[in-house]
Amino acid sequence: MTFLGYKGYLNPRNQKLDSIHAGVSMAIREHNGLRSVKLSRMVYPQPDVLTPSRKDVLIMTPWLAPIIWEGTFNMDILNEQFRLQNATIGLTVFSVKAYMIFLKQFLKSAEMYFMVGHRVNYYVFTDKPEYVPHLNVRNGRQIIILKIQSYARWQDISMHRMEMLSTFSRQRFQREVDYLVCADVDMRLSDHVGVEVLSSLFGTLHVGYYGLNRADFPYERRPQSQAHIPEDEGDFYYIGALFGGSVSEVARLTEACHRAIMVDQANHIEAIWHDESHLNKYFLYHKPSKVLSPEYLWYQQQMNYVKDQNSTSPKVIKRKRFKVLRKNYRLRDW
């Protein structure tokens, strides 16, 4: 038996790292002079086609993208599938100016909970490379520092993030990783975040607007802006602090958002929530192939707000995976 086209052997970038998971997913044996491949055996309960994994929440979008909640996936199966892909994941984070104070806690928590058992490149975009903490990371992981320009306003830094991600995706990331997870730095992981989030393109539901009518979403409503979404359109409100996908799809998303931001600037207009507004516009017309539930990014202030509006909503959140460290998510003071 011969595997033709198996990525781990045909992709030169992955060949040097094959030893990390060698023997985990398959074993090659010889019998009577013939080579055979034996895959690992997995034992788990048979899926029940008559019983949904969760009955209290929406687990599938109208365009058939899964919404990821605790209890909707088998982590062992997913880990095995991504090991067969020989995948490497990039985690990008922007740590500039005063936000450098969050970086060490972010990286330490990622080492505990992010993509455990898989190869990871931490890409730290910063204007202060000398202040990036020196951490001992797991085998198969590395911290890569990328020096960038700073700007006077956090809004400008946030919007230029799209430009930087687009540029580096095409110039570098496509040669080094298979997937990108783009996160804000002022957060820490408090629970497992693994390959269940990965797909060609994913976004994350904003906990502050979960369960609300789309007319109440803080979309950009001015028609003059490239981020404009009419009140009778919209699926969900996605948070800009956590999104990602394959390198090629993240490059398309960030390039489109950057171009739209540049058009707005030329017309002397700034979207209400900056790059997050443009992200929501992009996801409206380029549907994500996977949607992360509010379990993946939460903060207590908005949890309290949701509880006041709908006392049943917080009960659907079984795990709290990324936690925002700022007391007020909407205030960004240097």
Q: Specify if 226 maps to a domain.
A: yes
Tell me: do 150 and 101 sit in the same domain: yes
Q: Distance of CA 127 to CAs 53, 77, 206, 315, Å?
A: 45, 40, 28, 41
Q: Specify if 60 maps to a domain.
A: no
Residues 177-192, mean pLDDT to the nearest whole number: 96
Work out the mean pLDDT of the chain and round it to a whole number.
Answer: 85
Q: Give 192: exposed, middle or buried? Use CB within 10 Å, 0-12, 13-18, 19+.
A: middle
Catalytic annotation, residues: 276
H/E segment holding residue 277: helix 274-285
Tell me: do 150 and 260 sit in the same domain: yes
Q: Quickly tell me which residue has 């659907």 as its tokens.
A: 316
- Look at residue 284 in the predicted model and tell me its pLDDT: 98
Residue 312, pLDDT above cutoff 50: no
Q: Is 95 annotated as a binding residue?
A: yes
Closest CA to 167 of 261, 251, 274: 251
Tell me: do 189 and 79 sit in the same domain: yes
Read off the CATH number of the domain in which 249 is found: 3.90.550.10
Tell me: do 165 and 23 sit in the same domain: no
Q: Specify if 48 maps to a domain.
A: no
- Give the residue, 316 or 70, on which the prediction is more confident: 70
Q: Is 184 annotated as a binding residue?
A: yes
Give the total number of structural domains in the chain: 2
Tell me: do 35 and 161 sit in the same domain: no
| β-strand partners of 91 | 122, 181
The answer to whether 87 touches 120, Cβ cutoff 8 Å, is no
Tell me: do 179 and 305 sit in the same domain: yes
Tell me: do 28 and 111 sit in the same domain: no
Tell me: do 136 and 182 sit in the same domain: yes
At 6, the pLDDT band (50, 70, 90 cuts) reads very low
Q: What beta strand segments (E) does the chain contain? A: 26-31, 34-39, 67-68, 88-95, 119-126, 141-147, 179-183, 187-189, 201-204, 242-246, 290-292, 322-324
Q: Specify if 333 maps to a domain.
A: no
Residue 157, pLDDT above cutoff 90: no
Q: Is 99 annotated as a binding residue?
A: yes
Tell me: do 108 and 230 sit in the same domain: yes
- Look at residue 52 in the predicted model and tell me its pLDDT: 86
- Look at residue 213 in the predicted model and tell me its pLDDT: 94
Q: Is 96 annotated as a binding residue?
A: yes
Q: Specify if 32 maps to a domain.
A: yes
Tell me: do 133 and 12 sit in the same domain: no
Domain range for 91 is 67-324
Q: Specify if 89 maps to a domain.
A: yes
Any idea which of 139-148, 249-258, 290-299 has the lowest mean pLDDT? 290-299
Residues 196-209, mean pLDDT to the nearest whole number: 96
Does pTM surpass 0.95?
Answer: no
Q: Is 276 annotated as a binding residue?
A: yes
Which residues are CB-neighbours of 115 under 8 A, at least 6 positions away? Answer: 89, 91, 193, 194, 195
Tell me: do 182 and 235 sit in the same domain: yes
Q: Specify if 49 maps to a domain.
A: no
- Look at residue 331 in the predicted model and tell me its pLDDT: 37
Tell me: do 23 and 168 sit in the same domain: no
- Give the residue, 141 or 46, on which the prediction is more confident: 141
Q: Specify if 61 maps to a domain.
A: no
